[in-house]
Amino acid sequence: MLEPAYQVDVVVVGAGVAGLSAAHRLTSAGVTTAVLEAAPFVGGRMSTEKVDGFRLDRIGQLLFTSYPQLGHSPGLDALVLRPFAPGVLLHSDGRHHRAGGPAGGGGARSALHAVRAFASAPRPPAALPKVRARVRALRPVPPAAAYGAPDALAPEERFAAELPSDAGPPPERAVPGDRAQPFGIGTPLRLRAALSRIATTPVERLLARPELPAGQALAARGLPARTVDGFLRPLLAALLCDPDLTTSSRCADLALRAFASGRLCLPEGGADVLPELLAASLPAGTVHTGVRVTSVATNAVTTAEHGVIRCRAVLVATGARSAAELLPGLRVPDFHPVTVVHHTTDEPPATGGHLLLDSERGGPVAHTAVISAVDPSRAPAGRALVSSTVLGPDRADVDDAVRRHLARLYAVPTARWETLAVHHTAEAVPAMRPPHDLRRPVRLLAGLYVCGDHRDTSTLQGALHSARRAAAAILGDLGTGRPMHTSDPVPTTSRAAAA
């Protein structure tokens, strides 16, 4: 229980991943920190509902193994990531076409063989691999290997080499009804080259490109319209939660770069596992839930339950709208609404661990997957969990519309599937329309800071990176060795200031 006179160096408002990650960096530098969360649980939008043994993410935003901050953020050593099968499945003309998967490399492969390998990506392994956040499998796969260059180790071979010894070999498994991409031989070659180029392009160069809405930029990239409309548009809509592709082309390029250099993945056990790991590994007594902050200053916060808590600095790490309520004048972005519909069946579709997209956009579902084939811990034994994401405003008939669309996408009857939950989040993902500043200031003034995905990119990577920037700014100010506020007493002990 907090006391009104409780004193700490830094108060962090909000126990989402950004706030918790910043708290880790501050406490590891010796800065006393209190994290205050209004909700009865940590995690913010990264939350998971438990229903009859199922673990159902409320938003289910897709992650990548290539996110640098997953490997660099303290407190995530025990995080286990479950990768999807390489590439994605595209539904077109009543068939499934595998696309975007890395081509197996090898010195003896011909160029034509490499193109065909790209067009028919590696099959998902029967034994689902686990990837721990500290394992080097999180490193981006070198583009030479990822796209079939001579003498390159195939990424699935590298991936298997880095698994625990009990993971077993990754046998291939056919997906019924799948075939090569319907784009022709020349198009996979150009697509392969485009993905390879973007995987090797430094981030600074991507951010220096002219900025347009992503949909407009795609038309100028030199790829055939069928490739853009049939693959890149549905892929980017899924990755950005933006069905109209109004997102900044620079942010879209970063998403494609992550796709080209890593694997789509999920946290084992649900999205809430990640913030819960961060909270559990902080010093005891750091996180306080059920504490609502009503106002902030540079040297204190006022709470509804515990009065005024004095401190040397305040970091507001809430969502964008709540942050603007505490910090008047802070910009509130538009948001992309997301609905996730969870079904269960005892006869799962035969798509394995692939993410399935509709290249024809013939229904409300932006992407869907048999999540229990990716992460078996999310469903009880003998049951399959199928989770489907709908982008855009809420609709009353969403379950019926999704069920009809899934019947076409999976080519199986869905009338008897059981609906476990329908989660609609109106402000799921902050929009990143151009012009978008990927490095919005996190230091408002000495003693007052802000972080979250609305200060960076609207991804887990962006949230963690903004936390790193905010913690560095706080530690830099605290490390001056002098009071940050004239009303503060001169400290009698030195403050640790390592970044």
Tens of pLDDT along the chain (499 residues) come to 555 445 899 999 999 999 999 999 999 999 999 999 999 999 999 999 999 999 999 998 999 999 999 999 999 999 999 999 998 999 999 999 988 765 443 322 322 232 232 233 333 344 455 555 443 333 333 332 332 222 232 232 222 222 222 233 233 333 444 444 444 334 567 777 778 888 999 999 999 999 999 999 998 887 788 889 999 999 999 999 999 999 999 999 999 999 999 999 999 999 999 999 999 999 999 999 999 999 999 999 999 989 999 999 999 999 999 999 999 999 999 999 999 999 999 999 999 999 999 999 999 999 999 999 999 999 999 999 999 999 999 999 999 999 999 999 999 999 999 999 999 999 999 999 999 999 999 999 999 999 999 999 999 999 999 999 999 999 999 985 444 543 333 333 333 333 2
486 Cβ contact partners less than 8 Å away, ≥ 6 residues apart: none
HSE, side-chain direction, 13 A CA sphere, residue 446 = 10
The SS3 call for residue 153 is: coil
Radius of gyration of the chain (CA): 23
Could you tell me if 288 and 36 are in contact, meaning their C-beta atoms sit under 8 angstroms apart? yes
Phi-psi region of 205 (alpha: psi -120 to 50; beta: other; left: phi over 0): alpha
- Rounded Cα–Cα distance for residues 31 and 23 (Å): 9
Distance between CA atoms of 245 and 241, rounded to whole angstroms?
Answer: 9
Here the tokens at position 170 are 């990754």
d(CA 347, CA 368): 16
CA dist 10 and 141 (Å) reads 38
- In 330-480, where does DSSP find H-type helix? 371-374, 398-410, 460-478
What are all long-range contacts of 24-27, with beta carbons under 8 Å and residues at least 24 apart? 24/73, 24/74, 24/75, 24/278, 24/281, 24/282, 25/74, 25/467, 25/468, 25/471, 25/472, 25/475, 25/499, 26/471, 26/474, 26/475, 27/282, 27/283, 27/286
Which residues does residue 267 pair with via DSSP β-bridges, in sequence order?
A: 81
Token pair for 238: 């899924």
Query: 426 near 337, Cβ under 8 Å?
Result: yes
pTM above 0.85, yes or no: no
How far is it, in rounded angstroms, from Cα 194 to Cα 192?
5
Structure token pair of residue 205: 């160069």
DSSP H/E element including 251: helix 249-261
